[in-house]
Amino acid sequence: MGFQKKVMECSLSNILIITTSIFFLMPIPKLNIYAYIIGFALSSTYVVFRGMYIIKKRTVIRFNLTKIMAKPAFCAIFMFISIKSINKYLSLHYITKYNMISSFAAGIIIYFIMLFITKTLHLKQFLNVLNIKSFWN
């Protein structure tokens, strides 16, 4: 398909964005380690949208942005709220070293439940990704 040059451009852009954000944002006292997160988010977003643009421009594949971006973001909001709420509850009532792990696990479960509820992910797709058929044989 001849996309090697485009992949190389996206990879170099990814490295450049992350490095630049770390170099310029890391010295800011309020940001520190969050500079990496900001750079990672910016570069990942750029690479995803750039890749979608290249695929749309060069092939007949079309994307439904509502299904692939908005619905998962909506589900992620519920996941974030549940993680914060469960962690706060566990921190107030049960002081263990597993509070964050437990709340994160519950958040992941809520995220997948929301993906199923919003019909972004179907059970058949989920099982195909896990390759359950070959697991049981």
**Which among 18, 46, 63 is the end of a domain?**
63
Question: What pLDDT digit, counting tens, does each position of 37-92 carry?
Answer: 888 999 998 998 888 888 888 888 888 877 788 888 999 999 999 999 999 998 88
Same domain, 68 and 106: yes
For 122: left if phi > 0, alpha if psi spans -120 to 50, otherwise beta; the answer is beta
Question: What pLDDT digit, counting tens, does each position of 75-88 carry?
Answer: 999 999 999 999 99
Residue 111's pLDDT is what?
94
CA distance 55 to 59: 6
Same domain, 109 and 128: yes
Residue 135's pLDDT is what?
52
Same domain, 19 and 2: yes
Same domain, 71 and 56: no
Same domain, 25 and 84: no
Same domain, 101 and 57: no
Same domain, 69 and 11: no
The DSSP 8-state label assigned to residue 63 in this structure reads -
User: Based on the structure, what is the number of domains in the chain?
Assistant: 2
Find the domain containing 17 and state its range. Answer: 1-63
Q: CB atoms < 10 A from the CB of 17, how many?
A: 20
Residue 132's pLDDT is what?
60
Q: Specify the residue for token string 């949208």.
A: 49
Same domain, 55 and 89: no
CA distance 91 to 68: 34
**Which among 44, 63, 82 is the end of a domain?**
63
Same domain, 9 and 27: yes
pLDDT level of residue 114 (50, 70, 90 thresholds): very high
pTM as predicted: 0.63
CA distance 57 to 47: 15
Same domain, 77 and 59: no
Same domain, 59 and 88: no
Question: Which tokens sit at 21?
Answer: 């954000």
Same domain, 110 and 124: yes
Widest CA span of the chain, in angstroms?
57
